[in-house]
Chain A
Amino acid sequence: MSDYSVGQFAMIPAGTQASVAPATPRNVPAHGGEPNPSAAFLVAKFGDAIVRSWVNCGETNVIVKVEAIHDVIQWLNEDHGQRYEYLVDVTAVEYRDAGRPLEVVWHLRSLSFLRFLRLKVELPTRGPLVVPSVMDIYSGADWLERECWDMFGIKFEGHPDLRRILLWESYREGFPLRKDFPLRGRFSRAEQLKQALAADPEARYSMEELTIAEAFDSLPEDMRSRLAADKAAGTEAFGE
């Protein structure tokens, strides 16, 4: 599939091609304005799964039902008329207002069409915070989703390795960016320090990252032969 051949670009409607030199938008209204055409396509394609959409500071926001979010992002990535190749960010917002749902946010950018789209899913704060992972679509979602789990406690179903990324893995105080999290943490300073010092600085690497034997086949030839000779000579180069 030659997505980026000249022939493919010929399908793109005139005026939206990437060959048009991008210009900095001027006098963008805070509310309203021309929406991203993808929003209308989404409503036509997914119907009721699209809750609402609006334009804010020239950027189009679309709220999607949580059941449909994976299909929506997959379609936006794969459809030739959309081509959102780049997942800019996965994050979440929790508001101070009681009863207002927590939002999980996906920032998508189409490099072919120079479009930006913000997708949101609303999750009631009292319910389970579970959304599908988009790692099967964008590999770059790996760390973004781990950070979101680390800070907000949102489970990304289907993520192969959902563990803390900024805080250490034995952190037990909760999720710091939630509104019910006290700024200084839940434990006393002494307890925090004791728990932090008990952590092994090297434990945050998984064994796969540390074991050279796992990566043996991808090593350069000279290193492979040297390691094989070491192993034959009986030195424990493989750490087994």
Chain B
Amino acid sequence: MGITGPIPEGTRDQSGRSTVQIDPSNNDSWVTTRLDFLVNWGRANSLWPMPFGTACCAIEFMATAASRFDLSRFGMERLSYSPRQADVLLCAGRVPLKLAPVIRRIYQQMPQPKWVISMGACASTGGMFDNYAVVQGIDTIIPVDVYVPGCPPRPEALMYGIMMLQKKVMGERLRDGRIREEIVPDPTSQLYIPASRIDELSEPFGNSVNQTRSAP
């Protein structure tokens, strides 16, 4: 048996066939794949979510985790209530400004690699709470990978978001050195905006692999 992943690059001949040599006499178990694929396959299928539920979206998240929709199909049934053991910060619900330093600290406590799902209208944009107390989208505090729209989103929508995140994880490259590094903008570039100006704009942070600004 074997896991048939994508054929490693550089091991193909001119006609596109694999040039990996497999000893035909050794037919009990073998694997040919890229290391990227293997690592990403492991990561994508055992994402441990850290639920940060603050409102009604958390109820839908609970429904997603329960038996009918069953998060364990995605390897996500192990909810991590400690950020140190979590891969995905799943922010479900509105985040008041008083919680802003808390969710920032939770994100900082999570080890790399880490991803963030913003579940629902309020976490993504502030939703209907355009008032003095609510953060207008958690992407102004932390980087966000997947936004799940809805008020609240149904479990199917959240599962679709999770599958999108899995797809994103599968597309990562281990050799890419820029991955999850903050992009330091070139001050001579025409597109350069100083950090103070970006803070005034409350610009989104970007996502886990493409951060558009540095944390203040």
A positions within 8 Å CB-CB of B: 166-168, 173, 176, 181-185, 188-190, 192-194, 196-201
Contacts and interface: CB of A to CB of B under 8 A. Distances in A.
Contacts of A188: 200
A199 B102 CA distance: 9
Contacts, number: 54
A203 to B, nearest CB: 9
A184 B216 contact: no
Interface in B114-152: 130-133, 135-136, 140-141
A193 B132 CA distance: 10
B98 A194 contact: no
A193 B201 contact: no
A185 B102 CA distance: 21
B133 A197 contact: no
A191 to B, nearest CB: 8
Contact of B135 (A166, A185, A193): A193
Contacts of A197: 100-101, 104, 141, 216
Contacts of A166: 98
Given A167-B98, A184-B132, A193 B202 contact: yes
A5 B100 CA distance: 52
Give the top 6 A-B pairs by smallest Cβ distance, nearest first: A185-B132, A196-B97, A196-B100, A190-B200, A201-B102, A201-B101
Nearest to A186: B132
7 contacts: A167-B133, A183-B130, A183-B131, A184-B130, A189-B140, A192-B97, A193-B100
A176 B101 contact: no
A125 B3 CA distance: 75
Contacts of A192: 97, 132
A176 B98 contact: no
A198 B200 CA distance: 15
A189 B136 contact: yes
A196 B101 contact: yes
Nearest to A204: B98
A196 B98 contact: yes
A117 to B, nearest CB: 33
B173 interface: no
Interface in B159-203: 199-202
Given A168-B98, A190-B200, A196-B100, A201 B132 contact: no
B84 interface: no
Contacts of A201: 101-102, 105
A190 B135 CA distance: 10
A197 B215 CA distance: 11
A220 to B, nearest CB: 26
A89 B215 CA distance: 42
